[in-house]
Amino acid sequence: MRYTRDSKERKRVTLIEGDGIGPEVVGATRRVLEAAGANIAWEVHKAGAEVFKAGLPSGVPPETIASIRETRVALKGPLETPVGFGEKSANVTLRKLFETYANVRPVREMPGVKTPFAGRGIDLLVVRENVEDLYAGIEHMQTPGVAQCLKLMSKKGCERIVRLAFEVAVAEGRRSVHCATKANIMKLTEGLMKRTFEQVAKEYPQIEANHIIIDNCAHQLVRTPEAFEVIVTSNMNGDILSDLTSGLIGGLGFAPGANIGDDVAIFEAVHGSAPKYAGKNVINPTAVLLSATMMLRHLDEFAAAKAVENAIMFTFESGVYTQDVSKTGCVSTSAFADAVIANLGKQSARWKTREHKQLCIRPLDARRDYVRPATRTWVGADIFIESPAAPEELGRRLEALVEGSALRLKMISNRGTKVYPTTGGMTDCVDHWRCRFIRREGAGQLDDATLLGLLGKVGSAYRWMHVEKLEEHDGALAYTRAQGED
């Protein structure tokens, strides 16, 4: 079990109140959990705006990091992302520092909360990969007018998020898991998620496994959301879908979340710090309260989690709500917490508690070279260059530059579309070109000297900014073709 205890055998939890409305919603949550008899010893620490302003670029001080390393569990309020100073978001810093690779977002219709989807029986989870994909934040200006963001997805990253999605389904008695990808377009990155899902699904024959294209998934979520139970997806897709699904049940004020890793779990509401409402005692604390119930289950505090969840639903069913539900008849943050405390031990007539088991987290092999193909063959290189020239001029000159070398120019593409040799299309080109060079027939084995020689020839005439080796792994292409490339 991934938690530690204090001298009184209470489970230690790092508590970060957060920025803006954070202290209010976290304070309300702490009162409710204490009233419910949760066996927790809080360790209060800072992160976010106050830390940024003190001059620490990460927004997370060493003492907070040390506490989480010890407790292995944190409950946090929303943290402000600085504009114009500081570095990465403190939220992202915490996720990456502790490799909390899974973001789990439950979405369930709540009694007394009116939405266009009320009565549909929405009850699903979005399981989002949390540390890879475009959110690695690796970006470059390739030319003054062309930006690049690297989409990095690993086999290990895909496998552990997919496994966790199936384990979540098992822990909650779910019957199906959907994997949502854009594998029809991004066949290597998103395709890796799809292929991994299909491999891992064989180990869970009791769970129905379905692949769905991400845009169709979004479409179906607003047509038949009740058809989904668990959706597993990559980082950016999950960010978008989880906010969409929150909207189905009333908004971000009802959206709890857990960031789960092999060693550490950080529980937080999905909503932001809402600074314009700070100190006004008007914000809905439900998202943090439900995040705390997820934390209690992680800590084996199932009875307290059930009591708090039931009290929240009874409170809504009784017609007690904050301003985000309706500005007529609403109560304050603290009054809502008081009502939940008063309703501890009561059961909503319209809410059936889902029975939970402890989530099984199985760490994968720790080796870095997680995938080891039997054969690897280097077949060429893509060199990305900057030039205002037309494709025909560029192609003829490059062919002349590499004449007699071990590599020949196969094609040039512009923003993914082949433009040389011409396909007869009407592509509007920019000054950023991918020039694909392939080993000539009869040429010997390629080596770094060959590539450096090629770069020297190309660089004598053009500015190059990026190079990729082209390989075959176990006889299969380890790169994609351009649109229109044979």
Annotated catalytic residues are 135, 182, 215, 239
Supply 394's token pair.
């560029």
Nearest of 40, 75, 77, 35 to residue 294 by alpha carbon:
75
**Which amino acid type is present at position 348?**
S
- Exposed/middle/buried for residue 266 (C-beta within 10 Å: 0-12, 13-18, 19+): buried
The secondary structure of residue 136, as a DSSP letter, is G
Instruction: Give DSSP secondary structure letters for 315-339.
Output: HHHTT---TTT-SSS---HHHHHHH
Sign of the torsion formed by the C-alpha atoms of 276, 281, 282 and 285: positive
- Exposed/middle/buried for residue 95 (C-beta within 10 Å: 0-12, 13-18, 19+): buried
Residue with tokens 């987290």: 361
Neighbours of 222 (CB within 10 A): 13
Question: According to DSSP H, which parts of 350-442 are helical?
Answer: 391-401
Supply 332's token pair.
């304050």
- The answer to whether residues 380 and 420 touch, using CB atoms and an 8 Å cutoff, is no
- Burial per residue of 174-206, b for 16 or more beta-carbon CB atoms within 10 angstroms, e otherwise: beebbbbbbbeebeebbbbbbbbbeebbeebee
What's the length of the chain? 486
Question: According to DSSP H, which parts of 110-154 are helical?
Answer: none
